[in-house]
A and B are shown apart, each in its own frame.
Chain A
Amino acid sequence: DAKTTQPTSMDCAEGRAANLPCNHSTISGNEYVYWYRQIHSQGPQYIIHGLKNNETNEMASLIITEDRKSSTLILPHATLRDTAVYYCIVRPRGLIMEYGNKLVFGAGTILRVKS
Chain B
Amino acid sequence: DADVTQTPRNRITKTGKRIMLECSQTKGHDRMYWYRQDPGLGLRLIYYSFDVKDINKGEISDGYSVSRQAQAKFSLSLESAIPNQTALYFCATSDFQGISGYTFGSGTRLTVV
- How many angstroms between the C-alpha atoms of A94 and B96 in the bound complex? 9
B103 engages A93 (CB within 8 Å):
no
A41 with B102, Cβ < 8 A, contacts A95-B96, A100-B31, A100-B56 known: no
Q: Is the CB of A101 within 8 A of B31?
A: yes
A106 to B43, CA, bound (A): 8
State which of A21-29, A42-50, A66-74 sits at the interface with chain B.
A42-50
Interface set, chain A 84-115, CB cutoff 8 A to B: 87, 91, 93-95, 100-108
Interchain CA distance A34-B98 in the complex, whole Å: 11
Q: What residues of chain B lie closer than 8 Å to A41, measured between beta carbons?
A: 88, 107, 109
Q: Is the CB of A102 within 8 A of B101?
A: no
Question: How many of A's residues come within 8 Å of B, CB to CB?
Answer: 24
Determine the main DSSP class of A at the interface with B: loop
A contact residues around B99 at 8 Å (CB): 32, 49, 93
Please, how many residues of chain B have a CB less than 8 angstroms from a CB on the other chain? 28
- Give the residues in chain A near B88, CB-CB below 8 Å: 41
Contact of B104 among A44, A95, A107 (CB under 8 A): A44
Q: Are A106 and B97 in contact (CB under 8 A)?
A: no
Contact assessment for B42 and A108 in the assembled complex, using a CB-CB cutoff below 8 Å: yes
Q: A93-B99, A94-B97, A100-B48 are in contact. Are A43 and B90 (CB under 8 A)?
A: yes
Give residues in A with beta carbon < 8 Å to B: 32, 34, 36, 41-46, 49, 87, 91, 93-95, 100-108
B residues near A (Cβ < 8 Å) are 4, 31, 33, 41-43, 45, 48, 50, 56, 58, 88, 90, 92, 94, 96-107, 109
Write 15 A-B pairs (CB below 8 A) sorted by A numbering: A32-B99, A36-B102, A41-B88, A43-B92, A44-B104, A49-B100, A95-B96, A95-B97, A100-B48, A100-B50, A101-B98, A102-B33, A102-B58, A103-B43, A103-B98
